Homo-oligomer: A and B are copies of this chain.
Amino acid sequence: MKITEVRKCQKRALQYLRKAHLVYTPEEARHIEVADMGLGMIEQFGLEVLVYENNDRYCAKKLVLFPRQTCPEHRHPPMDEQNAGKRETFRCRWGVVYLYIEGPPVRRTKAIVPKSRKEHFTVFHEIVLKPGDQCTIPPNTLHWFQAGPGGAVVSEFSSSSHDETDVFTDPLIHRLPVTEQ
């Protein structure tokens, strides 16, 4: 992504954080990660991430999703024998999120499955998260999520986060964090 586009997405993400009444430092604002997953279609695929804390034991982030923006299907594999892979809890703070995990599928998803990469969405057990709702995703479990038509802000609480080890269903995806440092 071009740095001008990253900055534009960061600014827009801050608007959503403010809508959710979240407070951030200027330093944090500058380091919001804009993750387009290497697909180059940030409006459709990706998310914006503000990391509060990430250490070898736990992690806390805020995720911003623009309207209908989709975090593509992926799982968090075991890191080694000591680490079962990332477990994570999503808690909706603002807007609506449609979350899909392994399990009995819905017939018609509330999310709009992006046509261009449709074949790389394979799990359709639907969980709708509105403000105050939360869901914990076990390690190594396929999941993807999309904001409703108004966008969303989500708190993510988890074990230690190592995004670079995420396994995406779509072979075109590579998870390279892009921030303005």
Contacts and interface: CB of A to CB of B under 8 A. Distances in A.
Interface residues of A, number: 26
A38 B132 CA distance: 31
A55 interface: yes
A89 interface: yes
Contacts of A134: 52-53
A87 B157 CA distance: 14
A158 interface: yes
A93 interface: yes
Given A52-B157, A157-B52, A157-B157, A23 B93 contact: yes
Contact of A25 (B55, B133, B136, B157): B133
A147 to B, nearest CB: 17
Contact of A157 (B21, B23, B53, B136): B53
Contact of A21 (B21, B60, B89): B21
Interface string A141-156: 0000000000000010
Interface of A: 20-21, 23-25, 28, 52-53, 55, 57-60, 87, 89, 91, 93, 131-134, 136, 155, 157-159
15 contacts: A21-B21, A23-B93, A23-B131, A52-B89, A52-B157, A53-B91, A53-B134, A55-B87, A57-B159, A58-B59, A58-B87, A58-B89, A58-B157, A58-B158, A59-B157
